[in-house]
Amino acid sequence: MTDDNLTELQRHIESLVEEGGVDELQAVLGRLHPSDIAALFPRLGRLEQNFIWDLLTDEVSSEVLVELEEPAQEELLDQLSEGEIGRLVDELESDDAADVIGTLDDDKAQKVLETLDDESRRDMHRLLDYDEETAGGIMALEVAAVKETDNVRQAVNELRDLVENEGVEDIYNVYIISEDGILRGVLNLRQFILAPPDTPVSELMEGDIVSVPTSMDQEEVAVIVRKYDLVSLPVVDDYNRLVGRITIDDIVDVLAEEAEEDISIIAGTRDEEPGERSTFKVFRERFPWLLTGLAGGLVAATIMNYFEATLVQIIALAFFVPVIMAMGGSTAIQSSSIVVRGLATGEIEIRDLIPRIYREIRVALLNGAVLGIILALIVSFWLSEVQLGFLIGIILLLNICIASLLGASVPIIMKKMGIDPALAMGPFVTTMNDIIGLLLYLGLAMLFLT
Amino acid sequence: MTDDNLTELQRHIESLVEEGGVDELQAVLGRLHPSDIAALFPRLGRLEQNFIWDLLTDEVSSEVLVELEEPAQEELLDQLSEGEIGRLVDELESDDAADVIGTLDDDKAQKVLETLDDESRRDMHRLLDYDEETAGGIMALEVAAVKETDNVRQAVNELRDLVENEGVEDIYNVYIISEDGILRGVLNLRQFILAPPDTPVSELMEGDIVSVPTSMDQEEVAVIVRKYDLVSLPVVDDYNRLVGRITIDDIVDVLAEEAEEDISIIAGTRDEEPGERSTFKVFRERFPWLLTGLAGGLVAATIMNYFEATLVQIIALAFFVPVIMAMGGSTAIQSSSIVVRGLATGEIEIRDLIPRIYREIRVALLNGAVLGIILALIVSFWLSEVQLGFLIGIILLLNICIASLLGASVPIIMKKMGIDPALAMGPFVTTMNDIIGLLLYLGLAMLFLT
């Protein structure tokens, strides 16, 4: 559905609500995908939202709730009672249900859990116990598994039962387990269709199967799914027992989230959502980075104040402070972003620290030499300050080398220390770079030019 | 496979190659997934690579070729003859095959195409004609489609034929088409298993089906797949005839690519790959951004040179140039990155320009006021320059507002003009911001303080 269609639909629905055209409204909503209703929802006023919400079946409104973007979802959850949320959660697959409960505050979550039946409550507790960003945190418990002693006909009957009674919906792969629940192998659904019904599943199954433990970080899970082009991935406990499955649409969300996270680290927007309407909430997300920048800038001002005598003597030195600082910052982010990406995809590893530094320094020497010569020539001719030009050129070269060294090594060292390497692209490292560049610049200038 | 495992495997294979242990090597390779072999490949020397390559079957080595990261893939393709590439291409699904041919230079691609049989060649020409970053460019032609007049039994037989004779491998959904190839609906494989064999497929099928035209941009395709949680998506021509299908693993690659593209725009690394080993190639990717930064810095220097008299008179003005520039740059990237993300997910649209600017300005006023007051107080007390402090505070506020305005509006305007809005996070806009901030700062200081 395009933006224009959505706008048209919005108008249509608004006028139907005004006229109180319940039957036609219900017909219009019935033709929409829950995702479309979720896209439309934040555009409507409170009145229209309530009107529509009451017309949706639980099956549809639970999906709408899951598909809503964060600020709108939060607003909606604030308005729903614990009982209503419990009823909607019951309609959802376990991973989505746990996500919804996970966004509630502890008190409300507790009350929602109390409205569920024993089995669902136990399932939710199990899922909520896992760290949100691990395989356990993103997996669903509804998994299509059949016993290794089955033949195809028996397996199909078991699957039918799972679909009809256990809420298993999306089946891409059927897992084969032992009597004790140990994961033995996998069968593609296609094979069920093509094989004779009395073939034992153990004969058809692929036994060499990729699985992940519940504790694996979701980013690593995403790397595995991408690497092996998987559509679904079984999750196992410490004893290799099948406990859940992750489907690729969850991985798509993980990838999108991680990409947004990386950009939000570089840009300093933290958890801000594009749809957030509260000025104060946006302010709260953005302010810390700007404050760090201000602090960094004040350190720079202190350094320049310290070198005041030198600056007064050669005011032209001040002109090139922005160049030196910008070049250091740019170089550092180039080196660090490539290393962060390489670490995320597995193309760069911790043991590659030394060769990586070596490679970065080679590139930095080349960039620094070319840019240093250009800057030296321009300063020499423009300001007729050959000595200054020469010095600035050399400082630029040094600065680019140091920035590259830090940019390439900090993420690898952070990864080794168990810290998210993406943070190396954040304000702290960038600011540190600025300050080192400035000290180097003014310090050497004072030494050699005054 | 973890890094440590990979390193161990590398050693094992190197020693086997040295000993010439062909049988054992073949056994080891046979147990590996093509993706693992591809991960291992760039770590080996030329000798080991050739040794291993010759031991792989075409079926495996074609997959290894596809899974190799870019620099290693290019190196390998350079070494293979047109005939060999043609043989490997024949093993691949059409979308992967077209990707491989698409990376060759025109001359070699032509020669490879000549080695293919008529049907494959026609298929490749069809796929290569589409823009690489559109639905047509990423779709595969092998699609599981059955006629609307079939019943389940007939459809299963047709599917069996497609799998056995047409190279259709991954089936998630079965599409239902009319006599003329018009897309009518879709069936989940699960429904084939659960339905009685004599049910007409037209009775089971879901007729309200999401499809995309061949010309749709891959980023939009990714938005649709994410929005509707699809596992595969049919691609249709202008007459709504089914021409291919996109599977979610292709979308995972699109998302990863687009995320990398956005970060490479911010960081100025263009098409650099983490695994690239040539110093000169890396230099070539990074240099343009650094040169833009240098040019921007020189413009800044020119501006400061113009205001030399003011700076000499109040040297303290120079101390805060880095603060003013850094704050403007940070604010602009905060605003633009949120807008770019919102545009990519559809949460922000072109028609939202005015409300978005209004929202950004509110946030900027709040940030600017708080930061401006902090800066004004620090400058007033630290340097005992109350007038300067007051002025710098106000300029910071103004600068943050302007940067926000540009940061939020430029991407939306670019999108309207059909330019990739992500470019608004690139060096040109950032540099422009620096310069506006500096002009504002020194201009107002000259007006009010001298």
pLDDT, tens only, B415-428: 999 888 988 888 77
Per-residue pLDDT band at A338 (split at 50, 70, 90)? very high
Count up the domains in chain B and report the number: 3
CB contacts of A378 in chain B (<8 Å) are 298
**pLDDT, tens only, B59-79:** 999 999 999 988 889 999 999
CB B153 within 8 A of CB B124: no
CA distances from B165 to B93, B142, B162, B232 (A): 13, 11, 5, 21
* A125/A175 same-domain check: no
Judged by CB atoms closer than 8 Å, whether chains meet at A269 and B337 is answered as yes
CB B323 within 8 A of CB A300: yes
Q: C-alpha angle with apex A309: A304 to A312, nearest 5 degrees?
A: 85
Query: Is B37 part of a structural domain of the chain?
Result: yes
| Helix (DSSP H) and strand (DSSP E) numbers for chain A | 23, 6
What pLDDT shows up at residue A276?
A: 86
* B226/B321 same-domain check: no
Per-residue pLDDT band at A358 (split at 50, 70, 90)? very high
* A309/A380 same-domain check: yes
Judged by CB atoms closer than 8 Å, whether chains meet at A297 and B327 is answered as yes
CB atoms within 10 A of CB A197: 11
What pLDDT shows up at residue B53?
A: 93
Per-residue pLDDT band at B172 (split at 50, 70, 90)? confident
CB contacts of A280 in chain B (<8 Å) are 366
Domain end (from B133, B164, B184)? B133
| β A232-236/A242-247 pair status | antiparallel
Q: Which helix (H) or strand (E) holds A246?
A: strand A242-247
* A8/A153 same-domain check: no
Nearest to A336 by CA among A397, A290, A405, A395: A405
Contacts of B59 (CB under 8 A, 6+ apart): B91
| β B145-147/B173-177 pair status | parallel
Rounded to the nearest angstrom, the minimum Cα separation between A107 and chain B is: 31
Radius of gyration in angstroms for the set of CA atoms belonging to chain B, rounded to a whole number: 29
Judged by CB atoms closer than 8 Å, whether chains meet at B268 and A333 is answered as yes
Judged by CB atoms closer than 8 Å, whether chains meet at B227 and A39 is answered as yes
Cα B356 to Cα B409: distance, rounded to the nearest angstrom: 8
* A212/A342 same-domain check: no
* B423/B301 same-domain check: yes
Residue of B nearest to A153 (CA): B193
Domain with residue B109: its CATH number is 1.25.60.10
* A99/A178 same-domain check: no
CB A146 within 8 A of CB A205: no
pLDDT above 70: residue B1: no
**pLDDT, tens only, B365-378:** 999 999 999 999 99
* Domain range enclosing A106: 3-131
Q: What is the ipTM of this complex?
A: 0.81
By the 10 Å C-beta count (0-12 exposed, 13-18 middle, 19+ buried), B223 is classed as middle
- The 8-class DSSP code of residue A185 comes to E
- The 8-class DSSP code of residue A80 comes to S
Query: Is A349 part of a structural domain of the chain?
Result: yes
Judged by CB atoms closer than 8 Å, whether chains meet at B312 and A315 is answered as yes
pLDDT above 90: residue A369: yes
Of residues A188 and A92, more confidently modeled: A92
Strands ordered across the beta sheet of B183-188 = B145-147, B173-177, B183-188
Q: What percent of chain B has pLDDT over 70?
A: 99
CB contacts of A263 in chain B (<8 Å) are 259, 262-263, 266, 337, 341
Nearest to B120 by CA among B167, B159, B170, B76: B167
* A415/A391 same-domain check: yes
Nearest to B266 by CA among B175, B187, B330, B180: B330
Interval A162-184 mean pLDDT = 85
Query: Is B404 part of a structural domain of the chain?
Result: yes
Nearest to A450 by CA among A353, A294, A311: A311
**CB contact burial B138-172 (16+ within 10 A = b; e otherwise):** bbbbbbbbbbbebbbebbbebbeebbeeeebebbb
Interval B192-218 mean pLDDT = 88
Cα A401 to Cα B189: distance, rounded to the nearest angstrom: 57
Contacts of B221 (CB under 8 A, 6+ apart): B135, B138, B212, B233, B246, B251, B254
Sign of the alpha-carbon torsion through A92, A97, A103, A105: positive
CB contacts of B331 in chain A (<8 Å) are 290
Rounded to the nearest angstrom, the minimum Cα separation between B283 and chain A is: 6
Mapped onto helix, strand or coil, the DSSP state of residue A212 is strand
Nearest to B409 by CA among B328, B326, B339, B341: B339
What pLDDT shows up at residue A229?
A: 84
Query: Is A34 part of a structural domain of the chain?
Result: yes
* A320/A375 same-domain check: yes
Query: Is B265 part of a structural domain of the chain?
Result: no
Domain with residue A329: its CATH number is 1.10.357.20
Strands ordered across the beta sheet of A242-247 = A212-213, A232-236, A242-247
CB B228 within 8 A of CB B253: no
Closest CB from A33, A159, A312 relative to B193:
A159
Query: Is B274 part of a structural domain of the chain?
Result: no
Cα A212 to Cα A136: distance, rounded to the nearest angstrom: 9
pLDDT above 80: residue A34: yes
Q: What percent of chain A has pLDDT over 70?
A: 99
What pLDDT shows up at residue A433?
A: 85
What pLDDT shows up at residue B3?
A: 63
Residue pairs between chains A and B whose CB atoms are closer than 8 Å: 322
CB atoms within 10 A of CB B82: 17
By the 10 Å C-beta count (0-12 exposed, 13-18 middle, 19+ buried), B296 is classed as buried
Query: Is A265 part of a structural domain of the chain?
Result: no
* A98/A220 same-domain check: no
Cα B54 to Cα B65: distance, rounded to the nearest angstrom: 13
Lowest mean pLDDT among A52-56, A423-427, B44-48, B286-290: A423-427
Domain end (from B257, B291, B326)? B257
Judged by CB atoms closer than 8 Å, whether chains meet at A35 and B227 is answered as yes
CA distances from B28 to B33, B56, B57 (A): 11, 11, 14
pLDDT above 70: residue A267: yes
What pLDDT shows up at residue A2?
A: 61
- Amino acid making up residue B107: D
pLDDT above 80: residue A193: no
Rounded to the nearest angstrom, the minimum Cα separation between A129 and chain B is: 26
Judged by CB atoms closer than 8 Å, whether chains meet at B318 and A311 is answered as yes
What pLDDT shows up at residue A319?
A: 94
pLDDT above 70: residue B96: yes
**pLDDT, tens only, B233-282:** 999 999 999 999 998 888 888 888 888 888 898 888 888 888 888 899 99
**pLDDT, tens only, B136-155:** 999 999 998 999 999 998 99
Cα A262 to Cα B258: distance, rounded to the nearest angstrom: 13
* B128/B150 same-domain check: no
Reported for A375-378, long-range contacts at CB under 8 A and 24+ positions apart, including other chains, are A375/A320, A375/A323, A375/B294, A375/B298, A378/B298
Cα A339 to Cα A361: distance, rounded to the nearest angstrom: 14
Closest CB from A226, A279, A383 relative to B256:
A226
* A295/A358 same-domain check: yes
Query: Is B51 part of a structural domain of the chain?
Result: yes
Domain end (from A226, A257, A288)? A257
**pLDDT, tens only, A381-396:** 988 889 989 999 999 9
CB contacts of A320 in chain B (<8 Å) are 297, 301
**pLDDT, tens only, B346-368:** 788 888 899 999 999 999 999 99
Per the prediction, chain A carries an average pLDDT of: 90
Lowest mean pLDDT among A5-9, A246-250, A386-390, A412-416: A5-9
Domain with residue A163: its CATH number is 3.10.580.10
